[in-house]
């Protein structure tokens, strides 16, 4: 743990012409981290005029998850307001630090070899839930899967309109499910129509902030779980949604076991060609909310990093229109943009 007064500066300022702004922003977004040596956060302020600046904030996932963006940006806005008045920001101490969380997690989970431990019980749940699952998912790719994935990716963005999202929300309420469950069921139906079979595993992130004291803490709490969707027997969509609900509730009750540890212990067939247990992920994210900085007109921008963590990653975020924006990240090893 590096003390704040010993941390190197993470901010650099670049002055450039307006027509070079996009290139500078893109370069900053694609710069990687050496986790053995680098502080896992950096910022670049691209100045294209006296009153025109773009702040590119890049944080490695090891130090931040999606739910950390809210408190991080609130703190940044508060610090900016104080510095603008010539004062250093003063922070209320948080009730816990990330190191406290890591110790708590180890204490709660216990030893996987102890039949009484939470880790053992959750390991056995996932051993049953993921047993005998064929890998990888038979996606209709444009090219054969390479022996080693390059992690190169592209991005397609599209929207879900307010009327459609309202209908999804209505269906979710009627069937005692969540919007995320409806989206998972719909994606499973799509993948089945594309020839992926009746046994479809879809990865999903889960926030992992099970204690109120973690709400304002910036860090990596999110865990990954696998929703194995069973489409056998030609179910109606309502029947399928019930299956997804049951599987989801089981996963929620066994969410504490870190996914990376599950992979180690369950030891599926390992390959450099695809992600273990699932190759398609869907995330239903909470919206970031309005960005407000004292004296500034602020807007957020969507950036491409040119990478893909999975074969397909559907990242859905509700927006101010009442609908939702979708970012589909795809592996360019496998898919052309038109296919994605």
* pLDDT tens column, 286-339: 887 788 999 999 998 878 888 999 999 999 999 989 999 999 999 999 999 999
> Does the pLDDT at position 62 exceed 80?
yes
pTM beyond cutoff 0.85: yes
As a whole number of angstroms, the distance between CA 36 and CA 18 comes to 35
For position 288, what pLDDT does the model report?
79
Sheet containing 41-49: order of strands: 11-15, 41-49, 52-59
Q: Is the confidence at residue 259, as pLDDT, over 80?
A: yes
**pLDDT tens-digit series, residues 147-177:** 999 999 999 999 999 999 999 999 999 999 9
- pLDDT for residue 212 is more than 90: no
The DSSP secondary structure of 317-338, one letter per residue, reads EE-TTSSEEEEEEEETTT--TT
Q: How confident is the model at residue 110 (pLDDT cuts 50, 70, 90)?
A: very high
Is the preceding peptide bond at 136 cis, omega within 30 degrees of 0? Answer: yes
Domains, in order of start, for the chain: 4-63 (no CATH), 133-331 (3.30.559.30)
Average pLDDT score over residue span 37-54: 95
With cut-offs at 50, 70 and 90, classify the pLDDT of residue 197.
Answer: very high
Measured CA angle at 318 (ends 97, 138), to 5 deg:
90
Residue-averaged pLDDT of the chain: 94
* pLDDT in the model for residue 258: 93
pLDDT of 239 higher than 90: yes
Whether residue 224 contacts residue 129, with contact meaning beta carbons closer than 8 Å, is answered with no
Percentage of the chain beyond pLDDT 70 is: 100
């Amino acid at each position: 743990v590096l003390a704040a007064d010993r941390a190197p500066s993470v901010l650099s300022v670049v002055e450039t012409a307006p027509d070079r702004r996009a290139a500078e922003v893109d370069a900053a977004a694609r710069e990687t981290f050496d986790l053995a040596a680098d502080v896992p956060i950096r910022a670049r302020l691209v100045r294209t005029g006296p009153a025109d600046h773009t702040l590119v904030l890049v944080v490695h996932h090891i130090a931040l998850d999606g739910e950390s963006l809210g408190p991080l940006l609130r703190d940044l806005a508060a610090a900016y307001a104080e510095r603008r008045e010539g004062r250093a920001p003063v922070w209320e101490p948080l009730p816990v630090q990330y190191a406290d969380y890591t110790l708590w997690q180890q204490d709660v989970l216990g030893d996987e070899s102890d039949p009484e431990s939470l880790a053992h019980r959750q390991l056995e749940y996932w051993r049953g839930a993921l047993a005998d699952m064929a890998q990888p998912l038979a996606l209709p790719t444009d090219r054969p899967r390479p022996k080693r994935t390059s992690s190169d990716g592209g991005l397609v963005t599209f929207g879900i309109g307010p009327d459609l999202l309202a209908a999804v929300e209505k269906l979710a309420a009627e069937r005692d499910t969540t919007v995320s469950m409806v989206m998972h069921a719909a994606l499973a139906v799509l993948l089945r129509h594309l020839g992926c079979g009746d046994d479809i595993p879809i990865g999903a992130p889960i926030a992992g902030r099970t204690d109120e004291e973690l709400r304002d803490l910036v860090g990596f709490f999110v865990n990954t779980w696998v929703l194995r969707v069973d489409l056998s027997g030609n179910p109606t969509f309502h029947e399928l949604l019930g299956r997804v609900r049951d599987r989801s509730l089981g996963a929620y009750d066994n969410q504490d076991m870190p996914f990376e540890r599950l992979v180690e212990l369950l030891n599926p067939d390992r390959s450099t060609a695809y992600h273990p247990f699932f190759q398609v992920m869907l995330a239903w994210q909470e919206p970031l909310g309005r960005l407000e900085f004292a004296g500034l007109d602020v807007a957020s921008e969507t950036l491409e990093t040119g990478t893909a963590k999975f074969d397909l990653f559907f990242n859905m975020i509700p927006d101010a229109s009442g609908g939702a924006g979708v970012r589909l990240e795809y592996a360019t090893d496998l898919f052309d943009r038109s296919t994605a």
